[in-house]
Amino acid sequence: MPENKRRALVTGASAGFGRAVALALAERDWELIIVARGADRLERVRAATGAHAIAGDVADPAVRERIAHAIGSRRLELVLNNASALGPSPLPRLDRYPLDELATVLATNVIAPLAILQLALPALRIAGGTVVDISSDAAVGGYEGWGGYGASKAALDQLTNVLAAENPTLRIYSFDPGDMRTEMHQAAFPGKDISDRPEPESVVPALLQLLDTRPPSGRYLASEMRVAP
């Protein structure tokens, strides 16, 4: 691939919002490194985007070693930490939340994004790049059943906040896309009709607006982004 292309790492890229963002960036001629657990679906995104695909769980250190190798020493303009774990479904109250399941949620939603950024920061600094950590209103709201997932996203928000203070030459965002019609959202509401939620593709313009305008580092909501028609 040409050396002058902008490069992005997108995790959780085989479905939902991650897939929608990967396809949109490819349309803008970005060079992509995409990561997800679903190898078959990831391969379809790879075929559509020409991306370098890494099938595996971001919580697995061996997978992160492959990510580091793919990034290499070249400049990297964007890391989108989108891969997330919801936890048990139906969502349990905290007084009976399985602690081993909570550890898995924290490993995917907190430890893995930080580990990925630790390995990607040198390449991001070369480019003066951008980090987007996907957040949720569950990080700030007290919703019954959402304690495990919400706590993990609150922790990720604070990691993002501190990383931004420690890296003033970068743009580092928490981005809350809002409710979307995704498999994860369906798992949070098993058996319920979620067809009134917007498709992930409809949220992508708000993220692209964030990337294009590069406001100060901070927490942003898709619903509050002013997207040009």
In three-state form (DSSP H/G/I as H, E/B as E, the rest C), the secondary structure along 156-176 is: HHHHHHHHHHHCCCCEEEEEE
- Alpha helix (H) ranges present in 28-166? 39-49, 61-71, 99-106, 112-127, 147-166
- Residues 65, 53: contact at Cβ < 8 Å? no
What is the three-class DSSP state of 9? Answer: strand
Read off the pTM. 0.96
pLDDT score for 2: 52
CA dihedral 64, 22, 169, 126 (to 10 degrees): 60
- Residues 220, 173: contact at Cβ < 8 Å? yes
pLDDT score for 136: 97
Q: How would you write the pLDDT of the chain (229 residues) with one tens digit per residue?
A: 456 799 999 999 999 999 999 999 999 999 999 999 999 999 999 999 999 999 999 999 999 999 999 999 999 999 999 999 999 999 999 999 999 999 999 999 999 999 999 999 999 999 999 999 999 999 999 999 999 999 999 999 999 999 999 999 999 999 999 999 999 999 999 999 999 999 999 999 999 999 999 999 999 999 998 786 6
**Alpha carbons 124 and 122: distance in angstroms, whole number:** 5
pLDDT score for 150: 98
Task: Express each pLDDT in 182-210 by its tens digit.
Answer: 999 999 999 999 999 999 999 999 999 99
Share of the chain above pLDDT 90, in %: 96
Please state at what angle helix 99-106 crosses helix 147-166, rounded to 10 degrees: 30
Nearest-5° Cα angle at 143, 199 to 89: 65
User: How many angstroms separate the first and last alpha carbons of the chain?
Assistant: 32
